[in-house]
Amino acid sequence: MIRVADLDASISFYTEVLGMRLLRRNDYPDGHFTLAFVGYDDESVGAVIELTHNWDVNNYELGNAFGHIALEVDDAYCACDEIRVRGGNVVRDAGPMKGGTSVIAFVEDPDGYKIELIQKK
C-alpha cells in the first residue's frame, strides 16, 4: 500500500503509463478515504498495489524506510521509451546496475515513489 495525494493522477500513471489495470476502487465516506487497487493480473493470481487516498491530505513525505517498487519487464530500454511517450518520468535510464550485469531503470510516479524496472534475463 502506498498513500497518494491525487488519486486520479496516480491511477492514470499506473494504468496509462505502466499499463496496469484498475482492478477495483472503493470510497469510504465515513473514514474520508478511497482505496484503489491496480495490477497486471487479477488479485487471485498476481500481486497488486493498493493506492490509498486520504481525502483531507494533499501531500506526503516519503520517509526513509521505503525503497521502491520493482517490476520485471522484457526490455528495460524499450519500457523507458514507452513510459516517456506516455508522459512518465524516467529518473534513471536503462543500463547495467552498478557492480552487476542486470539491466535496470527507474521511473517515478506522481507522488515521487520510485519504480524499478528490471529486465528479464
Query: Is 116 annotated in the active site?
Result: yes
* pLDDT tens digits, 91-105: 999 999 988 899 999
> Per this entry, what is the length of the chain?
121
Prediction pTM value:
0.84
Which domains, ranges and CATH numbers included, belong to the chain?
Answer: 2-54 (3.10.180.10), 69-119 (3.10.180.10)
**Among the options 43, 61, 82, 116, which is catalytic?**
116
Contact of 107 with 117, CB cutoff 8 Å:
yes
The label of the residue with cell 506526503 reads 60
* pLDDT tens digits, 46-92: 999 999 999 999 888 888 778 899 999 999 999 999 999 999 999 99
